[in-house]
Structure 1
Amino acid sequence: MQYPLYVRRDGDAGFRANFPDFPRVVVHGNSIDELKSDAQQAVELAYDRSEQIIPAPTRSTSELHVLDMDDGEGIWMFVDINLARVTSLAVSIQFSLLEGLLQQVDLAARECHITRSAVITLAVVHELASRYEGQLFSIPVSQRGFVDG
């Protein structure tokens, strides 16, 4: 999948870059090719064998340009991240929201410097934790089961 990456110069001989969709991942390289290779490795290290959600890539350039990381000192580029090499327990879903609610989600995401997927995930975790009185994450994932009602 093609993920956006914000690239800046890092000193005289290198580059430093950040993903808006992978906020904890920082990428370094002496060349653009090295930066792309490091991007794959950094995503693998951050997400492989984890329960973290692997977000879908942000594709809207207008959404990218309003992010705080776009300080006008760098450039946006898209890098191919092979998610087949990342084993995650998280899955991607698609659903619909009212436009006004989505605007509120996006505002919260910008204020917290996270993706809209992360805001929605945190809201779901909060709701489930309160519903199941904090027991949700004390049970191993493989043994979790939910009963309707």
Structure 2
Amino acid sequence: MLHYVGILDGANDVWGVRIADIDGCVGGGSTPEAALADAITALRDVVAHKKSGGHPVPSPSSVADVLARGEIGEGETAVMVPLVLDAGRNVRANLTIDAGLLEAIDEAAERSGITRSAYVASAAREKLMRA
């Protein structure tokens, strides 16, 4: 999985993350975590849009490169933003998990009105956003 360098800044309840290599790709929120989550979504959407339109997608720079370019100012922090793109197709995958956990997943999925697969995919996306 690719990671882009994000630049986090903010204070109090206003936070933002801008993606160093992709102009205009930003996320925001009331906490640093919310801003990062929004930046992950923005990165996915911007890259998908660029690809669908036949536009080039810049390769991610290293943190060292971003620092060397002087893109991180005083009070700002580098954060890694994962790029998780939907492929537009589903694949079958066999997973081995505890029977009790599977039962809990099925119950939660039913309460949510979604399938087991959709529930597990949603949980994986949330976990990736926090990684």
Give the 3 Å change call, closer, same or farther, for CA 52–60 of structure 1 in structure 2.
same
TM-score (norm 1): 0.48
Deviations 1:115-140 (A, max 9, x none): xxxxxxxxxxxxxxxxxxxxxxxxxx
* Alignment-mate amino acid for residue 74 of structure 1: E
Question: Does 2:20 align with 1:52?
Answer: no
Question: Contact 2:17/2:27 (CA < 8 Å) preserved in 1?
Answer: yes
Gaps of 5+ in 2: 89-131
Deviations 1:38-71 (A, max 9, x none): 112212332322322222211151x211334322
Give the 3 Å change call, closer, same or farther, for CA 65–30 of structure 1 in structure 2.
same
Could you tell me the percent identity over the aligned residues?
A: 12
Deviation at 1:86, TM superposition (A): 7.0
Secondary structure of 1:70's partner? coil
Partner of 1:99: none
Partner of 1:2: 3
Secondary structure of 2:45's partner? helix
Give the 3 Å change call, closer, same or farther, for CA 59–30 of structure 1 in structure 2.
same
Matched residues in 2 for 1:12 and 1:40: separation?
21
Partner of 1:70: 72
* Alignment-mate amino acid for residue 8 of structure 2: V
Question: Contact 2:63/2:78 (CA < 8 Å) preserved in 1?
Answer: no
TM-score (norm 2): 0.54
Task: After TM superposition, list the pairs within 5 Å mapping 1:1-149 onto structure 2.
Answer: 1-9=2-10, 11-48=11-48, 49-61=52-64, 63-82=65-84, 84-85=85-86
Secondary structure of 2:37's partner? helix
Consecutive aligned runs of 4 or more in structure 1 exceeding 3 Å deviation:
none
Matched residues in 1 for 2:40 and 2:87: separation?
10
* Alignment-mate amino acid for residue 57 of structure 1: P
Question: Contact 1:4/1:77 (CA < 8 Å) preserved in 2?
Answer: yes
Matched residues in 2 for 1:24 and 1:54: separation?
13
Secondary structure of 2:34's partner? helix
